[in-house]
Amino acid sequence: MKYLLLLGLLFVVAVLGAYMNGQTETPTENQDNVKAITELRTTT
């Protein structure tokens, strides 16, 4: 359960980071970037 909360927190941080970095991008593009980033993080 603790790991699930941690993963959720990381996801929120990633979403916020993507939003702050790419305000010119559309929300869907940001979500795609976040998905790629989170997948990269989980695999490493």
Cα angle 17, 39, 43 (rounded to 5 degrees) comes to 125
Chain center to CA of 34: 4
5-28: per-residue pLDDT in tens?
999 999 988 888 877 776 655 555
Residue 18: the pLDDT is 76
Full DSSP string of 3-34: HHHHHHHHHHHHHHHHHHH-TTS-HHHHHHHH
Q: Which token pair is 15?
A: 């979403």
Residue 20: the pLDDT is 73
Q: Which sign, positive or negative, has the C-alpha torsion 6, 15, 37, 21?
A: negative
Taking residues 35-41, what's their average pLDDT? 73
pLDDT-derived band of residue 43, with 50, 70 and 90 as boundaries?
low
Taking the model in full, what pTM does it have? 0.42
